[in-house]
Amino acid sequence: MDSESLYDAYNKYFKVIRADSPELLDEVFRLRYQVYCIEHKFENQHDFPDGRERDVYDKHSIHSLLVHNPSGAIAGSVRLVLPLMNNPDSCLPIDHVCEETALHDSSLFLREHTGEVSRFAIAKTFRRRIGEQGSPCGVTEESLQAMDVAANLKNDRRIAHHLTLGLISSLVQMSAEHGILVWCSVMERALLRLLTRIGIHFTDLGPQIEYHGKRQPCYSVLDELLDRVMEERPDVWEVLTDKGRFWPPHKITQSPMLSGLINKAI
């Protein structure tokens, strides 16, 4: 009997939904308040007396929630900050914490097609393994070491981190729908190492910076990222793209704006 595929295992336990209603956005902001204000003190909880963490970038962002199918519980959330066409070079969170000139190097990527991966949060109830409590995304050096030990002892049946895969799959879909062809972000090195293990590669954008601890500015061109995932981990590619349904962008929509973006990228 064949063993269960990563795609089937992931879809058995998780799904992503777009937070596109006031009620679902409320879930996003409540989770972010719990993770970023209460648990990790990245933001001042007193700035959010209603118990919902928001910032100015939410006005031009799209959000997803990760849902645990067996329980219906919210397991995580992530947002994709979209570029502002009237100010693409200074509209993303990374612009205000990173001074690398490469951020504005059009030979690397065009800013009007670039979105920022941001507010990657996993609910506390889904960060129960060793070391996972130490980071909003549930990935630390300690948790990576614990995963290695479990893998060596064959005590961990997860092929990859389903929570992380689910949120990244939502980013792929949101990017396809909104014509985003490049991701930038400021990530913890432990999360980047986990992503590399499963074929998801980002390129460093200068040295690490101090932002709630050491963080690595980075970017990735989506076509190249997904091509490399397909080469290294086709099982992960199936989850990220829903077996190709969410990428390339023309599979989602044929809008004139998106067609123009695709033509420029080719």
* pLDDT (tens digit per residue) in 145-192: 545 544 443 444 443 478 999 999 999 999 999 999 999 999 998 889
Residue 33 in domain? yes
Please list, in sequence order, all residues whose beta carbon lies within 8 angstroms of the beta carbon of residue 40, skipping any fewer than 6 positions away: 135, 136, 212
CATH code, domain carrying 244: 3.40.630.30
pLDDT at 259: 38
How many structural domains compose the chain? 1
Under the banding of pLDDT at 50, 70 and 90, the label for residue 199 is very high
Domain that holds residue 252: 6-265
Average pLDDT, the chain: 84
Quick: pLDDT tens for 53-99: 999 999 999 999 999 999 999 999 999 999 998 988 889 999 999 98
Residue 145 in domain? yes
Residue 218 in domain? yes
Residue 237 in domain? yes
Write down the H helix ranges in the chain: 6-13, 22-32, 141-153, 162-178, 189-197, 222-232, 234-241, 256-265
6-to-13, 172, 198, 239 alpha-carbon distances in Å = 11, 18, 12, 8
Quick: pLDDT tens for 5-58: 999 999 999 999 999 999 999 999 999 999 999 998 889 999 999 999 999 999
Please list, in sequence order, all residues whose beta carbon lies within 8 angstroms of the beta carbon of residue 119, skipping any fewer than 6 positions away: 32, 36, 77, 78, 79
pLDDT at 135: 56
Residue 139 in domain? yes
Residue 1 in domain? no
Under the banding of pLDDT at 50, 70 and 90, the label for residue 247 is confident
**Confidence (pTM):** 0.84
Residue 172 in domain? yes
Residue 137 in domain? yes
